[in-house]
Structure 1
Amino acid sequence: MHGKFLVTLVLIFSTLIFIPDAIAQRHSKGEDTDILRTRPKLVVGIVVDQMRYDYITRFYDHFGDDGFKRFIEKGFNCKNNHYNYAPTSTGPGHTSVYTGTTPATHGVIGNNWYDKESGEDVYCAGDDSYSSVGTTSDAGKMSPHRINVTTITDELRLHTQMRGKTIAIALKDRGAVLPGGHTTNAAYWFHGADEGNWITSSYYMKTLPKWVNDFNTSRKVEGYKKSWTTLKNIDDYLESTADDNAYEGLFDAESKSTFPHSPPSLLNKKADFDVIKSTPYGNSLTTDFALAAIDGESLGSDEVPDFLAVSFSSTDYVGHKFGVSSKEVEDTYLRLDQDLERLFKALDKKVGENEYTVFLTADHAAVEVPAYLKDQGIPASNLKWEGNKAKFEQFLEFTYGTTDIVKNFSNFQYFLDHDVIKNLDLSVQEVQETLALELLGYEGVDRTYTAYQLWQNDFTHGIPYILQNGYNQKRSGDVMVVLKPGTATSGLTGSTHGSPQVYDTHVPLLFYGKGIKKGSTVERTEIVDAAPTIAVLLGISFPSGTTGQPVAKAIE
């Protein structure tokens, strides 16, 4: 009897030890499964064209609670986020955000570039093998065929066996085509001119779906053909320069660059819809269409994740025309804040709070208007490259007896004719170095690099690191030129971009929503980190060319 009692005690004791352990193991396995299955119903990727990081801090006190502030106060803010390549322009920017890599890998080295195989200039999204859908013009002849790798949108489509939808939207064709990737269900962009319609390419479909036709026939676009006045009292826009200044461009038929802007083309309801792009109303139109897409495509309506890629392009048009310190830029961002609020509230209602994830970044930043910097005593200049071009051609004639040694100059890269160099019994490396040394002494030039340098070295920081990431061995040129800081070759008004300088590389990277921690970091992140961060969150494969790293601190 005594022995049976001891056996019973041992069994009870063992059970008491085992049960909590079993529960713990089962709980742990359950947590692991939950983590693997924690996915948003919808991912929304937002790219703001030509957005500097300091727009957030400059205009913050004017923002409402549910636009940019929702990102900052409830999401994750990468304060030290940079483009790690040049040229910093729209085509490469959108491609890098969505591929998680740089032009060195994905191959989109500019908006336009000289194609060494065909000997012609090519456009990053242009493709004559497809036709326009939604317009009789050639504006729809586009495809993503110049991207060499997959995008995060491609990887989500592949992971869900094409059940998850991807829709890409932008005023600019490249702002929709490149983020959409190779497998997107649809990419739509705005064709202004005298039509004012959202269109696409036969790469995606043969005819526009009913919801797009309904949107176009509603003529909602005509409601944005109206005078541009400031959202708030202009006297409260203390974060900008005076409204009447010499650093801003003009709309057609305007004599002064001051508010209100009411050029005839903006008031005419039936013609010249392109003018809307250069006002904040272009962003509002984009938001309207994005909301229509959520309904029309039933995005985020089931457990299979969908992806909506939206690019706000009007910020770039406004920045180019008026400059980064203008009241026009400030007003554009205050109105964009309201559009973001509209988008967030629609997502809360249609997809569900904490059921979607959003990231926001930019395709590049911008330089202050050089003339404005110069007037403030800061080294800057507007350079006319034509003078350097004439001097350089004289040097080529004197040194080599011909200018044919250079095939093309674009994106501040010189493309050499290797056959001519060979016929002259010269070394390509020596010619590259000779030209780079010559150009180094030209007006406005800060430094030069050769393709041979970028082939032979592995740079890890600074300007050469940025240039190397932008250099594609099959597509890029032979000699790279970097202008001095604060130097631009655009006109005397408005801002521009494209350089490897920090004012062009420092852009926001914000995350919000399901699976995202609340917080911020001042550690350096790079634009190529956005895609792998979303890939980790979704539990899907990284885009095939990924060189970025997930922002671990941003993920729960």
Structure 2
Amino acid sequence: MTYRLFIIILLFFLSTNAQEKIKKDVKKTKPKLVVGIVVDQMRYDYLTRFYNRFSEGGFKRMIRDGFSCNNHHIDYIPTTTAPGHASIFTGTTPQNHGIIGNSWYDKISKQKVYCVEDNTVSPVGTSSSAGRMSPIKLKITTIADQNRLHTQMRGKTISIALKDRGAILSGGHTANAAYWFRGKGQGGWISSSYYMTKLPKWVVDFNESNLIDSYFRDWDTLYEIDSYTASGNDNTKFERGFKGQEKAMFPYDLLRLKEFNGQYDIIKHTPYGNSLTVDFAIEAITKEKLGKSNDTDFLTISFSSTDYIGHNFGANSKEVEDTYLRLDQDIKRLLMTLDKKVGENQYTVFLTSDHGATQVPQYLKSVKIPAGYFKEASVHLNMKYYINSLYQDNEIIQNISNNQVFLNYELINNKNLKIEEIQNKITNHLLTLKSIDKVYTRSQLENMNYTYGTVALLQNGFHQKRSGDVLYTLSPSIIAYSRTGSSHGSGYTYDSHVPLLFYGNGISQGATKIKTTVSDIAPTISALLGISNPNGVTGNIINEVVD
């Protein structure tokens, strides 16, 4: 054998071994199941404020044995539920995926549309229009879609949330099933004909069991209320509470209060809504045999009750503290189930939030921090009067919603008026108002490329076809909301800084303070799975996360 031939054979042998090693490594690191968890309205500081009271098996387990991105932000405005879920799973912002709000003004139909409404589909599991929902308005693919495509549609996707938009926008276009909760007098998990013609037997059995009704019980604190030192007083003027109970104070008799608070809907407004979501998710893992095939499956879970409770009681309430202590127990229960049903180190979990929340402005004012309320209706009316006084036509402004002004292009063109001039007049008028911080026009957002600051966040949330012609932001801690409870939607850190935790198969152990954004989640999971990114990705792989 010549020396040259020996070298060729040796290189071939080494190359073959290297290829086999790569194949084994990919097989080794690829999880059987990816679980994407979104905790609706979870501020980052809820992890640190309540950390000492968490169990070892919930949030602490994910932080201790997984990877935590401690400087994680939402990089667009508005920070609301639908854009949040869409951005997490598509790896980009509303500028590309098109979900610019929970609802928005549609310039073609000239009416308000809901982010997941679809009148071409039929309700499944209910006779209510609450079942006429689909992802039809989501313009691009999600990571779950890409996994389905990569596995030739063999890998399953099951998506679950109390809110329809939380389930639908997470699962994407190709989900095997998305389930959301119908409250009112029904009390059951439903879907639409977009996914199926009828509910699977296991879902029907779950709905007909007495488990859901078992949550009509007292909601009292998990531990002694005096030990809840990470939140404010129980009796304050900053909380709304439930109809039928004079004060927003523990305990809450849900069996008695359900009559005054939408029957089964009251469960959604308590920590038991999160527990019910985990109950249903565990049943889905079992009955759908998730993580049992040779292809990776996806399970997306959105915990909606945290948002309902934050809106009701506020970020500094004992109700919020109790909710997160109970959610920690539910996450522990979910992880233990995954250990048993899928196998330890055989699954990967990521946990994040769609947005944070401001402290109640009334509370902030009581401790001398600037805050307040935006009188939306009167400001909008005044703006219309102003434009009418300039142009003698009260139809020039077609709609004002979601902090956006929509102009009547047809009328403006017919009157030979200048659109940019009108945009600038509105901008100058809005900037005279104390509660408004910044205003930008369509012309600015279309013709400039902004890389930092509020205007960059607005541009990331600006969809050329769906967004308005003038966009404004409110001053810090100013909200258009009731005087009790918390809200969100801004680009300030209390709304944008949220947790991001990775845990399980293929995930490094550690943490980073390097800034990450919501768009980085999907490409990171794509890299872990070795699949294509969603087709509109603008984020980057968080290299430290992937083992």
Match of 1:3 in 2: none
Choose which of 300, 313, 330 in structure 1 pairs with 2:304. Answer: 313
TM-align CA RMSD: 1.9
Match of 2:520 in 1: 529
> 2: CA distance between counterparts of 1:536 and 1:512?
15
Match of 1:538 in 2: 529
Tell me the percent identity.
Answer: 52
Match of 1:32 in 2: 22
Match of 1:333 in 2: 324
Structure 2 vs 1, CA of residues 17 and 204 (structure 1 numbering), >3 Å: closer, same or farther? Answer: closer
Q: Confirm or deny that 1:234 pairs with 2:225.
A: yes
Matches for 1:66-77 after TM superposition, within 5 Å: 66-77=57-68
Amino acid at match of 2:185: D
Choose which of 86, 89, 100 in structure 2 pairs with 1:98. Answer: 89
Q: TM-score, normalised by structure 1?
A: 0.95
Q: 1:268 Cα deviation (Å)?
A: 6.5
Match of 1:382 in 2: 373
- Given that 1:225 and 1:269 are in contact with CA atoms closer than 8 Å, whether structure 2 keeps it comes out as no
Please state whether the residue corresponding to 2:471 is helix, strand or coil: strand
> 2: CA distance between counterparts of 1:495 and 1:271?
21
> 2: CA distance between counterparts of 1:388 and 1:190?
36
Amino acid at match of 2:288: E
Q: Which 10-residue stretch deviates more, 279-288 or 293-302?
A: 293-302
Q: 1:264 Cα deviation (Å)?
A: 5.1
- Given that 1:254 and 1:263 are in contact with CA atoms closer than 8 Å, whether structure 2 keeps it comes out as no
Match of 1:204 in 2: 195
Amino acid at match of 1:407: Q
- Given that 1:222 and 1:270 are in contact with CA atoms closer than 8 Å, whether structure 2 keeps it comes out as no
> 2: CA distance between counterparts of 1:400 and 1:271?
47
Alignment deviations for residues 165-205 of structure 1 (CA, whole Å, 9 cap, x no partner): 00000000101011111100000000010110100001111
> 1: CA distance between counterparts of 2:261 and 2:250?
23
Amino acid at match of 2:85: H
Match of 2:424 in 1: 433
Alignment deviations for residues 130-184 of structure 1 (CA, whole Å, 9 cap, x no partner): 1111111111000000001011111001111111100000000101011111100
Q: Give the length in aligned residue pairs.
A: 546
Choose which of 435, 452, 463 in structure 2 pairs with 1:461. Answer: 452
Alignment deviations for residues 302-355 of structure 1 (CA, whole Å, 9 cap, x no partner): 221000000000000000000011000000000000000000000000000010
> 1: CA distance between counterparts of 2:260 and 2:334?
26
Match of 1:407 in 2: 398
Please state whether the residue corresponding to 2:41 is helix, strand or coil: coil
- Given that 1:49 and 1:90 are in contact with CA atoms closer than 8 Å, whether structure 2 keeps it comes out as yes
Amino acid at match of 1:547: T
Q: 1:222 Cα deviation (Å)?
A: 0.4
Match of 1:286 in 2: 277
Matches for 1:263-282 after TM superposition, within 5 Å: 263=254, 265-266=256-257, 272-282=263-273
Match of 1:50 in 2: 41
> 2: CA distance between counterparts of 1:196 and 1:377?
43
Q: 1:66 Cα deviation (Å)?
A: 1.1
Match of 1:505 in 2: 496
Match of 2:484 in 1: 493
- Given that 1:83 and 1:527 are in contact with CA atoms closer than 8 Å, whether structure 2 keeps it comes out as yes
Match of 1:343 in 2: 334
Please state whether the residue corresponding to 2:292 is helix, strand or coil: coil
> 2: CA distance between counterparts of 1:469 and 1:134?
37
Q: 1:527 Cα deviation (Å)?
A: 0.4
- Given that 2:244 and 2:260 are in contact with CA atoms closer than 8 Å, whether structure 1 keeps it comes out as no
Q: 1:22 Cα deviation (Å)?
A: 7.2
> 1: CA distance between counterparts of 2:517 and 2:504?
21
Match of 1:5 in 2: none
Q: Which structure has the larger Rg over C-alpha atoms?
A: 1
Please state whether the residue corresponding to 1:118 is helix, strand or coil: coil
Matches for 1:146-295 after TM superposition, within 5 Å: 146-263=137-254, 265-266=256-257, 272-295=263-286
> 1: CA distance between counterparts of 2:319 and 2:12?
64
> 2: CA distance between counterparts of 1:146 and 1:472?
13
Please state whether the residue corresponding to 1:317 is helix, strand or coil: helix
Choose which of 60, 69, 76 in structure 1 pairs with 2:51. Answer: 60
Q: TM-score, normalised by structure 2?
A: 0.97
- Given that 2:76 and 2:456 are in contact with CA atoms closer than 8 Å, whether structure 1 keeps it comes out as yes
- Structure 2 segments unaligned to the other structure (5+ residues): none
Q: 1:387 Cα deviation (Å)?
A: 2.6
Please state whether the residue corresponding to 1:552 is helix, strand or coil: coil
Structure 2 vs 1, CA of residues 265 and 95 (structure 1 numbering), >3 Å: closer, same or farther? Answer: farther
Amino acid at match of 1:241: G
- Structure 1 segments unaligned to the other structure (5+ residues): 1-10
Structure 2 vs 1, CA of residues 423 and 265 (structure 1 numbering), >3 Å: closer, same or farther? Answer: farther
Amino acid at match of 1:28: A
